[in-house]
């Protein structure tokens, strides 16, 4: 472990005023997403599902960001890595595993959409498209709608650092700046866009360095520190809600697993690099912080693990037992029942 990594291990709780119940709930959210994600990898390796794209390693920024929102009121426009984010907003392991198995009753789209395209009208999650960065102009549009209606809702959208090379990112951020929108563009910078490292995507050291050109606030946070993430996101939410405009928030993080179940990351990065980042695992860091302060102990850790295991087991059993959608469902709602376009 390098000195840099050791220095960055401590959780920065400056100015954090969360009660122990909330801290434990945040820890549980992170564990719940991690275990669901790990189970999904196992199901893939067992040949039971076709594809998985993982959020492992990104849990701290996602849970920290979600807890800074007025959940159920603010809007979110997430991306495929945001499993922990989606869970913290109310999506469940059952919802996710129904999508992974492509079963009927999946709440996002009845399993028409790929898994990890999180959306829910009830939870205020705008529907996700597969082309990366399209969510940025869409989120700007939603934020403009909130502003025009005089609502104090905030819109958060998330994407990876590689996706900020897309024109949609520039167009959406420009709009957010021009109209001083109540928007947060959260970039989960894990240094790679599949195999392409960040330095081949941009000539600046931080994605957030681009904020001044859009006329928005820029902020960088250690995305493996859940409390620092919560604090910086809370500041961005307050700015948005108070009419002070948008924030380009960059969370420095890492994905210790391949891009997706179709990727072999050994072809583009060293095992030493991956191991070094694993030393800064966001869940272990938060667990150590809670243990040191007596907020968590070994028995409580076991209880949380058992509760999560039971929920994931039940979600898996439900998803396995659920029927596939009927074939004719594929036509709905594309065509009216009588065959005419709607």
Ligand X SMILES: Cc1ncc(C[n+]2csc(CCOP(=O)(O)OP(=O)(O)O)c2C)c(N)n1
Number of residues forming the site for Mg ion (CB under 5 A):
5
The 211-250 contact track toward ligand X, x by CB under 6 A, reads ----------------------------------------
Q: Which of 107, 110, 124, 160 binds ligand X (CB under 6 A)?
A: 160
3-class secondary-structure state, position 1: coil
Within 166-205, which residues bind ligand X (CB under 6 A)?
A: 166, 188, 190, 192-194
Pairing of strands 247-252, 196-197: unpaired
The 154-193 contact track toward Mg ion, x by CB under 5 A, reads ------xxx---------------------------x--x
CB neighbour burial string for 213-246, b if at least 16 within 10 angstroms, e if fewer: ebebbbbbbbbbbbbbbbbbbbbbbebbeeeebb
CA-based nearest residue to 83, from 108, 63, 110:
63
The 52-81 contact track toward ligand X, x by CB under 6 A, reads -----------------------------x
Within 275-314, which residues bind ligand X (CB under 6 A)?
A: none
Nearest to ligand X of 81, 285 (CB atom): 81
Q: Output the smallest distance, CB 137 to ligand X, in A.
A: 13
Distance CA 208, CA 186 (A): 10
CA-based nearest residue to 68, from 291, 241, 302, 213:
241
Nearest to ligand X of 67, 192 (CB atom): 192
Residue 210 binding target from Mg ion, ligand X, none, CB below 5 to 8 Å by type: none
Q: Output the smallest distance, CB 13 to ligand X, in A.
A: 27
Q: Output the smallest distance, CB 58 to ligand X, in A.
A: 8
Q: Output the smallest distance, CB 193 to Mg ion, in A.
A: 5
The 126-145 contact track toward ligand X, x by CB under 6 A, reads ----xxx-------------
DSSP codes of every residue in 206-229? -GGGGHHHHTSEEEEEETT-HHHH
Residue 95 binding target from ligand X, Mg ion, none, CB below 5 to 8 Å by type: none
3-class secondary-structure state, position 155: strand
CA-based nearest residue to 100, from 296, 255, 316:
316
Q: Output the smallest distance, CB 133 to Mg ion, in A.
A: 12
The sign of the torsion formed by the CA atoms of 55, 57, 63, 64 equals negative
DSSP codes of every residue in 86-137? HHHTT--HHHHHHHHHT-TT-TTTTT-SPTT---BTTTTBPPP-SSTTTHHH
CA-based nearest residue to 97, from 43, 144, 24, 56:
43
Does the footprint of ligand X cover residue 161 (CB under 6 A)? Answer: yes
Give residue number: closest CB to ligand X.
Answer: 160
Q: Which residues bind Mg ion (CB under 5 A)?
A: 160-162, 190, 193
Q: Which residues bind ligand X (CB under 6 A)?
A: 81, 130-132, 159-163, 166, 188, 190, 192-194, 259
């Amino acid at each position: 472990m390098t000195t840099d990594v050791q220095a960055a291990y401590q959780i920065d709780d400056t100015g954090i005023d969360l009660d122990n119940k909330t801290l434990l709930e945040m820890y549980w959210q992170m564990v719940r997403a991690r275990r669901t994600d790990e189970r999904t990898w196992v199901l893939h390796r067992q040949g039971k599902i076709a594809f998985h794209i993982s959020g492992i390693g990104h849990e701290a920024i996602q849970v920290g960001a979600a807890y800074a929102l007025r959940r159920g009121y603010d809007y979110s426009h997430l991306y495929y890595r945001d499993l922990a984010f989606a869970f913290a907003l109310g999506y469940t392991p059952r919802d996710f595993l129904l999508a992974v198995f492509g079963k009927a009753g999946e709440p996002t789209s009845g399993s028409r959409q790929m898994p990890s395209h999180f959306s829910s009208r009830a939870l205020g999650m705008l529907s996700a498209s597969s082309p990366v960065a399209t969510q940025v102009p869409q989120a700007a549009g939603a934020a403009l709608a909130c502003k025009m209606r005089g609502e104090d809702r905030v819109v958060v959208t998330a994407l990876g650092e590689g996706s900020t090379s897309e024109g949609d990112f520039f167009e959406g951020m420009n709009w957010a700046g021009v109209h001083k929108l109540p928007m947060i563009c959260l970039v989960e910078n894990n240094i790679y866009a599949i195999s392409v490292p960040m330095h081949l995507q941009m000539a600046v050291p931080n994605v957030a360095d681009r904020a001044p050109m859009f006329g928005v606030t820029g902020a960088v946070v250690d995305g493996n520190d859940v409390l620092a993430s919560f604090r910086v996101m809370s500041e961005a939410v307050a700015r948005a809600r108070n009419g002070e405009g948008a924030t380009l928030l960059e969370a420095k993080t890492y994905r210790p697993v391949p891009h997706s179940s179709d990727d072999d990351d050994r072809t583009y990065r060293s095992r030493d690099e991956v191991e070094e980042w694993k030393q800064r695992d966001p869940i272990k860091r938060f667990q150590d912080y809670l243990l040191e302060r007596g907020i968590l102990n070994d028995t409580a850790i076991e209880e949380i693990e058992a509760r999560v295991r039971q929920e994931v087991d039940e979600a898996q059993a439900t998803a396995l037992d659920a029927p596939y959608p009927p074939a004719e469902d594929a036509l709905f709602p594309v065509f009216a029942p009588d065959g005419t376009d709607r």
